[in-house]
Amino acid sequence: MATVLLVEDDEFVRSAIIRDLTGRSHVVRSAGRALDALREVAHAAPDVVVLDLGLPDLDGAEALKMLRAISDVPVIVATARDDEAEIVRLLRDGADDYLVKPFSGDHLNARLEAVLRRARAAAPSRVVRVGGLVVDADRREARLDGTALDLTRREFDLLAYLCARPDRVVSRKELLTEVWRQSYGDDQTIDVHLSWLRRKLGESASRPRYLHTVRGVGVRLTAPAAP
């Protein structure tokens, strides 16, 4: 069972897919517009997104790029065009898989299961401790001095990546590639997420405890010195 966000503007198609996936024991949330989908993911990321490219408010390819800027949730794009060049571009822009319309419920479910297997296999399987920070990648839980941290999916992934590399300076380019799964992008996105993460860790850029900026290079996560 998985939580699926279905992004499809055609009400008939959306209802049919929801019925099929629900019948297969998946939990389905849905959106008919790209911006609604982005808000859904930012609020509570699903296990996988099925993204139709023919949306009324925003081109699906642009929606994919915006989605990748806020989350690394697996994305299966659904397109009406069997265009190899477009499909290659979408995969390079961050799609995990694709479906050409029309498709059957069995086909969609098989793609969902394959994408979820890959996502779960790629997840680290160990608990990491750095000072008072404890990050459990399997349970997707993080604690600071015994208190649970309320992190978004991207904040958790960022913290887990840095915790797995304590005392090492990690460049913004590496974070963009390994956490955001993008080959290029805006450093400001990383800085904003680091700022949010610092706030939840009870620190700031000017008074760091765990997250230390190395100007012009990147960021280093280090346990605070003992008092």
Dihedral sign, Cα of residue 79, residue 34, residue 60, residue 41: negative
Residue pair 1/25 in contact by the 8 Å Cβ criterion: yes
DSSP 57: S
Residue pair 142/135 in contact by the 8 Å Cβ criterion: yes
- Take residue 26 and report the two structure tokens written for it: 């998946």
- Alpha-carbon gap, residue 86 to 100, rounded angstroms: 12
- How confident is the model over 144-160, as pLDDT tens digits? 999 999 998 889 999 99
Q: Which residue has the tokens 């790209």?
A: 34
- Alpha-carbon gap, residue 170 to 181, rounded angstroms: 15
pLDDT for residue 212: 95
Q: What is the mean pLDDT of residues 189-217?
A: 92
pLDDT for residue 183: 65
Dihedral sign, Cα of residue 75, residue 79, residue 83, residue 89: negative
Q: What is the DSSP string of 73-119?
A: --EEEEES---HHHHHHHHHTT-SEEEESS--HHHHHHHHHHHHHHH
pLDDT for residue 73: 87
Residue 133 CB-density burial (10 A; 0-12 exposed, 13-18 middle, 19+ buried): buried
Domains (range + CATH), the chain: 3-122 (3.40.50.2300), 127-221 (1.10.10.10)
- How confident is the model over 69-111, as pLDDT tens digits? 888 889 999 988 777 888 888 888 888 999 988 899 999 999 9
Q: What percent of the chain has pLDDT over 90?
A: 49
pLDDT for residue 150: 93
Comparing 173-187, 191-205, 211-225, which segment has the lowest mean pLDDT?
Answer: 173-187
The number of C-alpha atoms within 13 Å of 211 and in the hemisphere containing its C-beta is: 25
pLDDT for residue 11: 92
pLDDT for residue 80: 83
- How confident is the model over 30-77, as pLDDT tens digits? 999 999 999 888 877 788 999 998 899 988 888 898 988 888 889 999
Q: What is the dihedral of CA 119, 123, 125, 131, to 10 degrees?
A: -150
- Alpha-carbon gap, residue 212 to 100, rounded angstroms: 46
Q: What is the mean pLDDT of residues 214-218?
A: 87
- Alpha-carbon gap, residue 129 to 136, rounded angstroms: 9
pLDDT for residue 7: 95
Closest to 50 in 3D by CA, of 102, 114, 96? 96
Q: What percent of the chain has pLDDT over 70?
A: 95
Q: Give the helix/strand (H/E) hosting 214.
A: strand 211-214
Q: What is the mean pLDDT of residues 166-184?
A: 84
pLDDT for residue 188: 81
Residues whose CB falls within 8 Å of the CB of residue 191, separated by 6 or more in sequence, listed in order? none
Residue type, 122: A
Comparing 78-82, 138-142, 155-159, 184-188, which segment has the lowest mean pLDDT?
Answer: 184-188
Band of pLDDT at residue 125, cut at 50, 70 and 90: low
- Alpha-carbon gap, residue 30 to 36, rounded angstroms: 9
